[in-house]
Amino acid sequence: MLNFLIGTAISAAAGFIFTYIMSNMKKFNKELEKREAVAEEKADTSVDIFPITEKGVICSPLTGKAIPMSEVPDDTFAAEVLGKGMAVIPSEGKVVAPCYGVISALFDTKHAIGITTKDGVELLIHVGVNTVELNGKYYEAHVAQGDQIKPGQVLLTFDIQKIQEAGYPVATPVIIANTHDYKKVEGLKNGEIHCMEPLIKLEEA
């Protein structure tokens, strides 16, 4: 009889402990799911830390000094043969996506990148003058052709000092390659500019 009572007590205690553990595990799992959901939400919102500009405005993909295309030390760019736009003399070796779009061209030499925006603007960002001759040295691509991109996403990084020491200007044209699709393409700022600040205004034909 004593053994029976002891066995019954042990069984009851084991059942209680098992139920208690399972209950707490469920609570723990629910709390973990909540924390993961909050973390994912924060991660999603933290990506878009830059303001989305109005249609027809192209933001600067670089931080530095904005200059007219005519001041780029290259006749092709200065004459806007490839299209109108603006240029930036970078103070940071980083090119970010100025908008939502897709990488439509990425040169093997990584000195230039093409973007087709969600509004159909064809952008060409050419980091430096005659830098194709570096064959990709001092450049690193962080995207691939065909990638979907979002504002502020890092596209290219490069070493400003080493490019300059190699004898190449780092003035970076930001070109509207399909200029003919627009009635007007004008620069919005000269002088100091930060990435994701408005740089070019487009007026549809």
Q: In 3D, which of 203, 147, 179 has the Cα closest to residue 81?
A: 179
Burial 5-26 (b: 16+ CB within 10 A, else e): eeeeeeeeeeeeeeeeeeeeee
Please pick, among 111, 126, 142, 194, the residue that the annotation labels catalytic: 126
Token pair of 147, please?
């990638």
- Asked about 126 being catalytic, the answer comes back as yes
Instruction: Tell me the torsion sign for CA atoms 30, 35, 40, 41.
Output: positive
- Tell me how far apart the alpha carbons of residues 22 and 24 are, in angstroms, rounded to a whole number: 5
- Tell me how far apart the alpha carbons of residues 153 and 150 are, in angstroms, rounded to a whole number: 6
Q: Write out the catalytic residue numbers.
A: 126
